[in-house]
Amino acid sequence: MYDLPRLYRPAALLALAASLNACSAARSGAGLIPTPPTAATAPGAASKTQPGTAALTYTVSYYFNEITGFSLTANGNATPSVVVSGSNTKLNQPNALAIDRSSGKLFVANGAYQDRRILIFPKGANGDVAPKVLGGSNVPVQSTEGLAVDASGRLYVSDYIGKAIYVFAAGASGNTAPIRTIAGTATGLVQPFGMSFDSHGHLYVAQGHDSSAPIEEFAANANGNVAPIATIGGSHTKLLGIFNLVLDKHDRIIVPTAGSIEVFAAGAHGNASPVATIKGNNTTIADVTSVGTDSNGSIYGTNTIDISQLKFSMIVFDSNANGNVAPARILSGSHTRIVDNFYPTTY
């Protein structure tokens, strides 16, 4: 059952939510999409670790209840190198993903109705592998679509119902309370979703339903009812409420806005204009729901093409992309298993 605002996805996704959950077998039989894998059929199912050490771009699939990982050169109708899927994984309509770059751990938030667990997978997880779980009465998260891990391994969890950001100690699992909470009227948090850090450890937060400050920047180690140190918002930004953002290796701020990807200069604040806008027919962008980047500065976007036909893609642009430019790579097709995927994250 869908229990999410889904503010920045096509309205048809909401209308089709029930049929997505009830009719996957019928769609598979019609050849629209492959059958969701079992522990025995998922790629890498016999293995508990990722093959090789090459960097991969991971995403979570809300539809398939899985994590997929692709090589940084994957293109077209490519098969993922890694699929984490199966009953042991506890994945239940996952809708957020973050990676601890020190340990390689994968953090995933479940999005199913009344399932507020955060799953923690070991580095190199592959197949039907069991995670550690962060959840319980001491974990106050009500609903999240945003996770981030700082340079010290601390986990940040946004709560769009609680209007808060919870910070958990490095290595936290089980029924563990947060060590810090950013919440209160001074914070300006309205509906926090995706988050990302700059090279100074400042936390950037994407805000839904906030046209005045759709991006907020908090100081490193912010705690309590504290004001952001900067915001981005106004008519020049082209931003209303947003679902997600990511900072690249140069601290540029990359933001999906449904029909485009906007790029802001490092340190941008106030009513700043983007320094680049990726938009137009050549881009293949229909509805970009989330973005990511890699060590090369490439820009990734998860793209909803036609929800009625379950057509989705992951598009990859060069770091200097601007205007009506074609992607350097497009991943799409039944072998990719890209259906309702979010948060492209490279490790």
DSSP 270-300: BSPPPSEEE-SGGGT-S-EEEEEE-TT--EE
CA dihedral in degrees (277, 278, 279, 284; nearest 10)?
-170
Predicted pLDDT of residue 308: 85
Q: Is the pLDDT of residue 33 over 90?
A: no
Structure tokens at 32: 């629209």
What architecture is domain 11-346?
6 Propeller (2.120)
pLDDT in tens, 123-168: 999 999 999 999 999 999 999 999 999 999 999 999 999 999 999 9
Residue 275: CB atoms within 10 A of its CB come to 14
Predicted pLDDT of residue 218: 98
**AA identity, residue 106:** L
Q: Which residue has the higher pLDDT, 207 or 23?
A: 207
- Mean pLDDT of the region 249-275: 97
Predicted pLDDT of residue 53: 59
DSSP 8-state symbol, 87: G
Q: Tell me the pLDDT of the chain averaged across its residues.
A: 88
Q: Is the pLDDT of residue 23 over 90?
A: no
pLDDT in tens, 315-340: 999 999 999 999 999 999 999 999 99
Structure tokens at 42: 């998922």
Confidence of residue 4 (pLDDT cuts 50, 70, 90): very low
- Mean pLDDT of the region 254-271: 97
**Cβ atoms of 261 and 275 closer than 8 Å:** no
| Of 186, 141, 137, 189, residue with least CA distance to 166 | 141
Q: Is the pLDDT of residue 1 over 70?
A: no
Structure tokens at 149: 């891990």
Confidence of residue 50 (pLDDT cuts 50, 70, 90): very low
Q: Which residue has the higher pLDDT, 342 or 24?
A: 342
Question: What is the residue extent of each domain of the chain?
Answer: 11-346
Q: Is the pLDDT of residue 194 over 70?
A: yes
Structure tokens at 306: 């036609």
> Which class for 285: exposed (0-12), middle (13-18), buried (19 or more C-beta within 10 A)?
buried
Q: Which residue has the higher pLDDT, 210 or 166?
A: 166
- Mean pLDDT of the region 254-258: 95
pLDDT in tens, 309-321: 899 999 999 999 9
| Of 115, 131, 190, residue with least CA distance to 158 | 190
Predicted pLDDT of residue 51: 45
Least confident span in 32-36, 167-171, 179-183, 247-251: 32-36
pLDDT in tens, 220-244: 999 999 999 999 999 999 998 899 9
Predicted pLDDT of residue 7: 45
Q: Which residues pair with 2 in a beta bridge?
A: 112
3-state helix, strand, coil split of the chain in percent (to 5) is 10, 35, 55
Predicted pLDDT of residue 219: 98
CA–CA separation, 75 vs 52, rounded Å? Answer: 19
